[in-house]
Chains A and B, each alone.
Chain A
């Protein structure tokens, strides 16, 4: 059981000043190393003494991992760029507004000042049974405490549950999926690029992690192509406390509308599944259809097909249906305005 002692376990603090040095350190220490970006997730784990790494690799001194850089075919955001910087960046606000909207509603201003994009997409799940240190499936045990007849699972998954029913808590990820972002990962064998939705892994494949980062690898930046720049965007987050909370559900979409019809669309939701969900079926179904409430209604119904609620989270099904509907109908309303 987690006991907050406010005294972290002893570890060596390594503070590289370049991404290549950081990657080499991670490679050297492998599974004994802990990557720390903004520290917001890390300090929870360390202070609860639920993670006891031998070394902590602090990325805060690596300037090349920070900042928003415009490139010929889009924009590249360093993994250590703070959420506040992204939310206020003129280029992001004007061309990739869905990302600015998404990061603007992450937690509180203080947390956004410290939290980074890389940390936000790579953070661990917030399931309290897991975070409190119970020996659940995700922690290497053989039970899911949330998925029991009396388990508290109001915030948990309605899709993709496989023994573990925890959800991915990021707000920025659906926006990055909607923008068709690519994650740049530095590995011992060189650099690799993965699509935003492929950065995440479900419990069916690996129950102990939320993303594909292996020991020795480092997420260095996120590239957003200009394919969807200036599109019609929609982002909405529903949470219990509007001042500061993780999402009960969020949705992000990018839509190209021509003559009132949807030419193309990307849409993703999060906090409904152990990994963020790109709604490919919805994207295919709405292509060529009018961007209106009727299409939104159809898309919403399609989006929730296959949802399996737990004891206390059936509300997520109509919530998701309506958010998807509004992601389409809402854009239509914005156009009318």
Chain B
């Protein structure tokens, strides 16, 4: 039982044509198992969070009641991307598990929406947001080690509170970035092989069979990987302790209490009175 489906090309060469479709179930089950194990761990074994807190009264006084976390533009991007991602997963994999419908057109349209939104996000994050806020820094890595030691019952100083994004969030972003770019780049090339209502002129000869095959395999692997990733993302989105973060992706802000509990004002800087009361830099800085 291989991971890849092979076939013989017209020229007698053995070429990959796509992933083995059982990987859909492997990834779905992996996502499900992760959720079960995590829920059991948090519910039974995990110790209460403890952070090193040393906020001065002036810092605390400077935090507004509502801390803005995501600008409207950033939220709009997130939800457009989420809708297109769900459309892509549904149109890609339901036909493979027996639900037959005309999926190709919907799939590439959703793919174009995803591609456009991701390009927008890259530009927006590079020039208008704090680009580095989503990448792990030294403190993240130091605190990850501390948290691990403490979880294992060993002595370690309490970790600092998170910057704007927890380390897990940053890792998730990196993985979704890799898989997302893989499906987008391969998907855009694959549009040269289907009828896209004139957007792309068909030409399946721009690559050889082996290159095309690898492209389909990469598209498939990243695609099934996204099944597990999206399942996990939705799971964390609805977990009670993460709801303030989820709400901030809807309403744009989080409460002062949650901010002070989970985030370090020195690592996620709040500037007051830049645009009036309640303003905090976040996506806009």
The residues of A with any CB-CB pair to B shorter than 8 Å are 1, 133-135, 139-143, 145, 147-149, 161-163, 201, 204-206
Is the C-beta of B216 less than 8 angstroms from some C-beta in chain A?
A: yes
Q: Which residues of B contact A (CB under 8 A)?
A: 5, 7-10, 12, 15, 17-18, 100-102, 104, 193-195, 202-205, 212, 216
A145-B10, A201-B100 known; 16 other A-B pairs, CB under 8 Å?
A1-B12, A134-B9, A140-B7, A140-B17, A142-B17, A142-B18, A142-B193, A142-B216, A143-B212, A147-B202, A148-B204, A163-B104, A163-B195, A204-B104, A205-B100, A205-B102
Q: Chain B contact residues: over half helix, strand or loop, or mixed? A: loop
Q: Which residues of A contact B100 (CB under 8 A)?
A: 201, 205-206
Asked, given contacts A142-B193, A142-B216, whether A162 binds B104 with beta carbons under 8 Å apart, the answer is: yes
Known: A135-B9, A162-B102, A163-B104. A143 touches B204 (CB 8 A): yes
Given A163-B104, A205-B100, A205-B101, A135 contacting B204 (CB threshold 8 A): no
Given the complex of chains A and B, what is the CA–CA distance between A142 and B5 in angstroms?
Answer: 11
- Smallest Cβ distance from B195 to chain A, in angstroms? 7
Complex CA gap A206/B104 in Å reads 11
With a cutoff of 8 Å between Cβ atoms, the chain A residues found around residue B17 in the complex are: 135, 140-142
Q: Which of A1, A142, A149, A201 contacts B203 (CB 8 A)?
A: A149
B12, B195, B202, B212: the one contacting A142 at CB < 8 Å is: B212
State whether A149 and B10 are in contact (beta carbons under 8 Å apart), knowing that A142-B17, A204-B104 are contacts in the complex: no
A145 to B204, CA, bound (A): 9
Majority secondary structure, A binding face: loop
Q: How far is A161 from B105 in the complex, measured between Cα atoms in Å?
A: 12
Output the least CB separation between B283 and chain A (Å): 39
Q: B201 to nearest A CB, angstroms?
A: 10
**B7/A135 in contact, CB under 8 A:** yes
A–B pairs, 11, beta carbons within 8 Å:
A133-B8, A135-B7, A135-B17, A140-B7, A141-B17, A142-B18, A142-B193, A163-B104, A163-B194, A205-B100, A205-B101
Point out the residues of chain B lying under 8 angstroms from A140, CB to CB: 5, 7, 17
A149→B204 CA distance, assembly (Å): 8
Contact of B8 among A135, A143, A201 (CB under 8 A): A135
- Chain A residues closer than 8 Å to B7, beta-carbon distance: 135, 139-141
**Given the complex, which residues of A lie within 8 Å of B104, measured CB to CB?**
162-163, 204
Q: Which residues of B contact A162 (CB under 8 A)?
A: 102, 104, 195
A140 to B12, CA, bound (A): 17
What residues of chain B lie closer than 8 Å to A161, measured between beta carbons? 195
Q: Is the CB of A143 within 8 A of B193?
A: yes
What's the Cα separation between A201 and B100 when bound, in Å?
Answer: 10
Give B145 Cβ to nearest chain A Cβ, in Å: 45
Question: Smallest CB–CB gap between B131 and chain A, Å?
Answer: 37
> What is the distance, in angstroms, from B112's C-beta to the closest C-beta of chain A?
18
What residue in chain B is nearest A162 (Cβ atoms)? B104
Nearest 3 A-B pairs (CB), nearest first?
Answer: A135-B7, A204-B102, A141-B17
- Give the distance in Å from the alpha carbon of A134 to the alpha carbon of B13 in the complex: 11
CB of A321, distance to nearest CB on chain B (Å)? 23
Q: How far apart are the CA atoms of A205 and B100 in the complex, in Å?
A: 5
Which residues of chain B are near A163, meaning CB under 8 Å? 104, 194-195
Provide the bound-state CA to CA distance between A105 and B5, in Å. Answer: 41
A1 contacts B205, C-beta separation under 8 Å: no
- Residues of chain A lying within 8 A (CB to CB) of residue B18: 141-142
Taking the closest CB of chain B, its distance from the CB of A211, in whole angstroms, is: 13
* Minimum C-beta distance from B249 to chain A (A): 36
* CA gap between A53 and B12 in the complex, in Å: 24
- CB-CB under 8 A from A205, the residues of chain B are 100-102
Contacts of A201 in B (CB 8 A): 100
Closest to A133 in B: B8
Instruction: Determine whether the beta carbon of B10 is less than 8 Å from that of A1.
Output: yes
Bound: A134/B11 CA distance, A: 10
Smallest distance from the beta carbon of A318 to chain B beta carbons, Å? 23
How far, in angstroms, from A162 to B193 measured CA to CA in the complex? 11
Chain A's nearest CB lies how many Å from the CB of B107? 11
Interface pair B102/A148, CB less than 8 Å apart? no
In the assembled complex, the Cα of A127 lies from the Cα of B33 at a distance in Å of: 45
Q: Which residues of A contact B202 (CB under 8 A)?
A: 147
The distance in angstroms between the C-alpha atoms of A140 and B104, with both chains bound, is 15
- CB nearest to A204 among chain B residues: B102
Residues of B within 8 A of A143 (CB): 193, 204, 212
Q: Which residues of A contact B205 (CB under 8 A)?
A: 148-149
A201 to B101, alpha carbons, bound, how many Å? 11
